[in-house]
C-alpha cells in the first residue's frame, strides 16, 4: 500500500506524538445488521493506523445512536473484539444524521477525527492513507468518490443536480463527490464545535472553514448490510436545508423578479393607456385578466414560500434549543494491555 509522502518539516510538528488518539465517529440509526461487520472490518485497519501514528497511539470508535429502536446498541456491546476504545453516545430520539454527527464531533476526544458511515460504502482500507496525510501535516483530508456506480440512477443524478445548483448560488462551493467521510485535525474540529447553528448542514460547514484539503480518491462500495434510511423526501428536505443554510440568493433573486414584473406591468399599462386613447374603450377580456392575476398570484406564493423557509429557520435559531439531547453515554470496550503488546504499539 502506498501512503501519502510526509513533508518532513510538518511531520516534525505532527508526527509520532505519544498517546495520540484517532477518533472514528459513526452515527447509527437502526443498523443492527451492519455494526458487527463494521467493527470486524475496522480492527485490522485501526491497528495499521496506530502503527503509522507511532508512539503510544490509541484509537476510539464513537457510535452516536440516533434513536435506534432495534438491537443496534446491544450488538455493539456484544462485540468481543478489542484494540480500540468503543464508546456509545445515545441520543434521546431521532434528531437526524447531521445533528448526530455534530454530537459525535463534540464527544470525540481525538487529535484527528474521521466521520464514517457504518454501512462500509466508505471503505476503511483508505484510513491509513488518510492518517499518513495527517501525519505529514494536512489538517483536512477528503475522501473523494471517483465512481458512484453502486448508487441508484436517481441518487447519482439528484446528487449531481444538487451540487450544480448549490455551487452556483453559494459563496463557498462544495467539492463534488465528497461526503462526510474525511479526516479532520483537532483544530478544525474545535472550530466546528464552536459554531452555534441549530440547523446543521455539515458539508456546507466543512466547506465554509476554508482549509485546503488533501484529496484521496476511492471506489464507493455497496452497503455491507441493511438498507438506506434516506428516501426521496428526506433527500429533498436535506437539499433545501443545505441551500437555505448556505446562501441568501433565493431571497435576493425575488427583488429582481419583482422589479422585472413591475417593469412588464408598467409597459403593459402604457400600452393599454395608448390603445384606449387611439381606439377608445375596449371591453376587457376575461381570459387575459385571469392569466395576469394567476401569474402574479403564483409569483407571490413562490416568493412567500421561500421567505417562509428562511423565517422558519430564524425562528429555530432564536429559540436556542440544543441541537440534540444525550440520554446516555457509556464506554463499551477499553483497549486492553494484551492487544497493545500484541500489536507492538
> Are 335 and 269 found together in one domain?
no
| Number of Cβ atoms within 10 Å of the Cβ of 294 | 10
Give domain status of residue 34, yes or no: yes
> Are 38 and 122 found together in one domain?
yes
Residue 19, helix vs strand vs coil: coil
Domain count, the chain: 2
List the alpha helices (DSSP H) in the chain. 8-14, 35-53, 72-78, 97-107, 127-135, 153-169, 186-194, 202-209, 232-246, 249-279, 286-319, 337-343
> Are 139 and 265 found together in one domain?
no
Q: Are strands 178-185 and 112-115 parallel, antiparallel or unpaired?
A: antiparallel
> Are 198 and 226 found together in one domain?
yes
DSSP per-residue string spanning 228-283: ----HHHHHHHHHHHHHHH--HHHHHHHHHHHHHHHHHHHHHHHHHHHHHHH---P
Look-up of cell digits 384606449: 276
Instruction: Name residue 142's beta-bridge partners.
Output: 182, 215
> Are 16 and 68 found together in one domain?
yes
Give domain status of residue 221, yes or no: yes
| Domain containing residue 303 | 249-319
Give domain status of residue 290, yes or no: yes
> Are 158 and 262 found together in one domain?
no
Give domain status of residue 2, yes or no: no
> Are 332 and 284 found together in one domain?
no
Residue 186: give its domain's CATH number: 3.90.550.10
Please compute Rg for the chain using Cα positions: 26
> Are 146 and 205 found together in one domain?
yes
> Are 331 and 185 found together in one domain?
yes
Compute the distance between CA of residue 180 and CA of residue 98 in angstroms, rounded to an integer: 9
> Are 64 and 187 found together in one domain?
yes
Give domain status of residue 116, yes or no: yes
> Are 51 and 183 found together in one domain?
yes
Q: Is the CB of residue 196 less than 8 Å from the CB of residue 124?
A: no
List the chain pLDDT tens, one digit each, 345 residues. Answer: 333 333 334 333 444 444 689 999 999 999 888 899 999 999 999 999 999 998 888 999 999 999 999 999 999 988 876 688 999 999 999 888 888 999 999 999 999 999 999 988 888 999 999 999 999 889 999 998 886 565 666 666 666 677 777 777 777 777 878 888 999 999 999 999 998 887 777 887 888 888 888 999 887 765 555 565 555 556 666 566 666 666 666 766 766 776 677 677 667 767 766 776 777 666 666 456 756 776 777 677 777 777 777 777 776 677 677 777 888 888 876 654 333 333 444
Amino acid at each position: 500500500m502506498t501512503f501519502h509522502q510526509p513533508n518532513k518539516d510538518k511531520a516534525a510538528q505532527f508526527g509520532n506524538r505519544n498517546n495520540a488518539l484517532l477518533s472514528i465517529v459513526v452515527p447509527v440509526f437502526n443498523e443492527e445488521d451492519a455494526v458487527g461487520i463494521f467493527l470486524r472490518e475496522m480492527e485490522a485497519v485501526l491497528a495499521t493506523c496506530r502503527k503509522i501514528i507511532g508512539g503510544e497511539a490509541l484509537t476510539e470508535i464513537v457510535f452516536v445512536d440516533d434513536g435506534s429502536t432495534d438491537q443496534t446498541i446491544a450488538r455493539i456491546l456484544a462485540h468481543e473484539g478489542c484494540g480500540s476504545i468503543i464508546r456509545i453516545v445515545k441520543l434521546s430520539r431521532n434528531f437526524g444524521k447531521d445533528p448526530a454527527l455534530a454530537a459525535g464531533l463534540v464527544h470525540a476526544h481525538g487529535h484527528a477525527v474521521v466521520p464514517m458511515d457504518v454501512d462500509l460504502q466508505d471503505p476503511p482500507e483508505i484510513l491509513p492513507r488518510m492518517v499518513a496525510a495527517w501525519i505529514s501535516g494536512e489538517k483536512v483530508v477528503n475522501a473523494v468518490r471517483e465512481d458512484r456506480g453502486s448508487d441508484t440512477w436517481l441518487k447519482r443524478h439528484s446528487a449531481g443536480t444538487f451540487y450544480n445548483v448549490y455551487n452556483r448560488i453559494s459563496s463557498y462551493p462544495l467539492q463534488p463527490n465528497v461526503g462526510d467521510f474525511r479526516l479532520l485535525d483537532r483544530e478544525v474540529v474545535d472550530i466546528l464545535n464552536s459554531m452555534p447553528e441549530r440547523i446543521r448542514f455539515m458539508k456546507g460547514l466543512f466547506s465554509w472553514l476554508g482549509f485546503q484539503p488533501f484529496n484521496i480518491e476511492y471506489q464507493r462500495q455497496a452497503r455491507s448490510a441493511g438498507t438506506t434510511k434516506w428516501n426521496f423526501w428526506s433527500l429533498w428536505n436535506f437539499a433545501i436545508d443545505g441551500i437555505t443554510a448556505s446562501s441568501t440568493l433565493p431571497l435576493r433573486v425575488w427583488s429582481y423578479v419583482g422589479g422585472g414584473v413591475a417593469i412588464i406591468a408598467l409597459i403593459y399599462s402604457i400600452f393599454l393607456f395608448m390603445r384606449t386613447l387611439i381606439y377608445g374603450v375596449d371591453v376587457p377580456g376575461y381570459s387575459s385578466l385571469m392569466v395576469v392575476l394567476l401569474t402574479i398570484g403564483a409569483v407571490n406564493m413562490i416568493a412567500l414560500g421561500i421567505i417562509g423557509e428562511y423565517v422558519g429557520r430564524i425562528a429555530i435559531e432564536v429559540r436556542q434549543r440544543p441541537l440534540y439531547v444525550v440520554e446516555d453515554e457509556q464506554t463499551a470496550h477499553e483497549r486492553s494491555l494484551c492487544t497493545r503488546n500484541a500489536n507492538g504499539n
